[in-house]
Structures are given as structure tokens and as C-alpha cells.
Amino acid sequence: MAELRAQGRYGPEFRDVLPSFVGLGLALVALALLLGGLHRSFGTAGLLLGLLLLAVAATVGLRLGRRAARRRKGRYTARELARLDDRGLVEATARMLERDGWSVADLTLRRGRTRLYARDRRGRTLDVSFRSAAAADEDAGWAATRVETVSRPVPSEAEQPLEVVVHRGDFSRAEVLRASRRGDVQLVDGRTLRRWAAGTPLDELRRRDR
């Protein structure tokens, strides 16, 4: 049980869901009072109007809830990706990695740059960096990533992380060639990012890009 909880597969505990149950109970009480008030004030017409408004609100709430649940599971539409700011993209990437079975740590504050570190059950590691959508100089962005990569301690071959650079735009041809020569870098451009967000695992995307 402890192992399942550590992996995030055990599910929420009672104290985690208690606030939701309390909120649901209060909402039901408020709804009953509202419908009773409408019925007393306007009779059957008021009650029917209240039920109609309730049905509309429930439909909208259900739709929004499904979208939120889908995003929490690491699935995003192309339109949702386009609306994300830089921090939102980092959070979405972390959720997509967790969806694919990776344990994710946010190293942004520790390293001073937007950074994620991920490890899977097989011991593989990822060093995920992000290219800002507002970056004007593409080569500078790649150079910054390479400088930081070289500056960290070099691990053993078994622990060598795969660098993943996420960018909602397109990488230059020189960057693509440079990444293919190195072999330990995966560039995730806008098109690849949309496929990943739609549910295609990162490992499958990497195999297709080879």
C-alpha cells in the first residue's frame, strides 16, 4: 500500500476527499432551500424554472469537469495548448510525463531556469528544458541549454539523462541536425507537442523521429 501511494496509484485518502463531500453537502442544502423558496414565491412555475436552471448548470459543470479531469490526466487539445502561458506549458508537460509513467520533479527554483527532471521505473532519466515562445534568437536558446548541460556533473552512462527540449514553435534545421548528431537530445516542436498532448507516449514519438 505504501508503495502504491508513493507511486500515486493508491488513490486519495479520506482527508483528501472530505472537503469535496462537505462542499457537495452544502451545495445540496442550498439547492433545496432555493427550490423551496422559488416554489413558495412562484408556485409550480418557479419550481420548474429552478429545475431548468439546475439542469443547465449541471450540464455546463459536467462539461467543464470533464475537461479539467482530462487535463489533469495529461491530455490537452491543440487549442488548450495554444492558450497556455510559459508556466502553464511546464505544468502541462509534467502532467503528460506523469501520464506516460514518469516521476517528475520541478527543478526550476534550484537551477534558475525552467527545468523538469523525470525518472521512470526502469531507471531512465529525462532532463526537460523549455524554449520560450517569445525567444527571438533560436541559437541562443539552444546554446543556453548546452551550457547548462555541460556544466552539470557528468553521470555514468547508465544514468545519462536524455535531454528533452520543448518548444511550441519550430526548431531550425541546424538545431535538428545538431540534436540528431548528439543522439541524447529529443526536440519536441509544436507539431510533436500536439501529438504528445493528444495521448501519444513520448517513447513512441522518439521512435518515430529516429
The residue-averaged pLDDT of 17-40 equals 72
C-alpha cell at 53: 436552471
78-209: what CATH class? alpha beta
List the beta bridge partners of residue 115. 129
* Closest C-alpha to 73, from 100, 51, 53: 100
Mean pLDDT of the chain: 76
User: pLDDT value at position 154?
Assistant: 44
The residue-averaged pLDDT of 156-180 equals 84
User: pLDDT value at position 144?
Assistant: 42
Q: Which sign does the torsion angle of CA 110, 116, 120, 124 carry?
A: negative
Q: How far apart are CA 87 and CA 30, in angstroms?
A: 37
Element at 105 (helix H, strand E) = strand 103-106
User: pLDDT value at position 129?
Assistant: 92
195 band by pLDDT with thresholds 50, 70 and 90:
very high
Task: Output phi, psi for 41, to 5 deg.
Answer: -80, -40
* Closest C-alpha to 97, from 170, 166, 16: 166
What is the edge-to-edge ordering of all strands in the sheet holding 185-188?
A: 103-106, 115-119, 125-130, 162-166, 185-188
List the beta bridge partners of residue 163. 127, 185
Distances (CA, A) of 165 to 29, 145, 149, 158: 50, 8, 12, 21
User: pLDDT value at position 103?
Assistant: 94
Determine the residue type at 58: A
41 band by pLDDT with thresholds 50, 70 and 90:
confident
What is the residue extent of each domain of the chain? Answer: 1-72, 78-209
User: pLDDT value at position 3?
Assistant: 47
Checking DSSP bridges between strand 162-166 and strand 185-188, what pairing results, if any? parallel
The answer, yes or no, to whether residue 140 has pLDDT greater than 60, is no
CA torsion, ordered 66, 130, 86, 137, to nearest 10 deg: -140
Q: Does the predicted TM-score (pTM) go above 0.75?
A: no
Contacts of 33 (CB under 8 A, 6+ apart): none
The residue-averaged pLDDT of 100-108 equals 91
Element at 14 (helix H, strand E) = helix 14-72
User: pLDDT value at position 148?
Assistant: 39
Q: Which sign does the torsion angle of CA 56, 57, 58, 61 carry?
A: positive
DSSP 136: S
Residues 52-79 have pLDDT tens digits of: 777 777 676 666 666 666 677 889 999 9
User: pLDDT value at position 6?
Assistant: 43
